[in-house]
Amino acid sequence: MIVKSVEFIGSFQYEHQCPKDQLPEYAFIGRSNVGKSSLINMLTNRKEIARISSTPGKTQTINYFLINEEWYMVDLPGYGYAKVSKKIKAKWKKDIEHYLKVRKELFCVFSLVDSRIPLQKIDLDFINWMGEASIPFSLIFTKIDKIKPKEVEGKIQEKLDGLLEYWESLPEYFLASAVSKAGKDEILAYIASINKK
């Protein structure tokens, strides 16, 4: 798939405010500072479609981007560390979980995991929650450019082994780098294949 057009549609606080034209939606979410904005910019071939910030927790709303006038890329708030109160974090969690559970147009959630570090409990808890809620999802292991090439396979396998302690089989997964653009073609091709079903 070639991304020919990207249009920012809007930022929404609640699911019921989101677009109602029933186009397929693909949501991107991950722990704060996992590289989500950089990945979205890489996939869309734009520099600042999703704002990159050194401050974790910058995305605070459900942000919609219309791709090729055919489907939506949805940028969700990160979970975990952010310089906000526990009350606000709890509200984000409630609103995002509601969106993920009830949004009929949501074809797949891409859950981003930092490839450089061990699988975090917060990532595992979120992935397991999606499984229990029957939410379709895939994994994207980010920042693989920051690992020595010969160590990539081992680090990814460690995380997969950790997931297999809870899962009989694993969802589709991708290795990605916003710097080298690794994973771009594979992720976009996967989205295209789902859209054709």
Instruction: Return the HEC string of 101-167.
Output: HHCCCEEEEEEEEECCCCCCHHHHHHHHHHHHCCCCEEEEEECHHHCCHHHHHHHHHHHHHHHHCCC
Residue 21 falls inside a structural domain: yes
Domain harbouring 128, CATH code: 3.40.50.300
Is the CB of residue 116 less than 8 Å from the CB of residue 143?
A: yes
Task: Let me know if residue 35 belongs to a domain.
Answer: yes
The count of domains in the chain is 1
| pLDDT at residue 61, as a whole number | 84
pLDDT of residue 77: 83
What rounded mean pLDDT belongs to the chain? 89
Residue 1 domain flag: no
Q: Taking 70 as the threshold, does the pLDDT of residue 55 lie above it? A: no
Q: Provide the domain limits for residue 26.
A: 7-195
Note whether residue 186 is domain-resident.
yes
Is there a domain that residue 113 lies in? yes
Please give the residue that has the higher pLDDT: either 115 or 196.
115
Residue 2 lies in a domain: no
Answer whether 0.85 is exceeded by the pTM.
yes
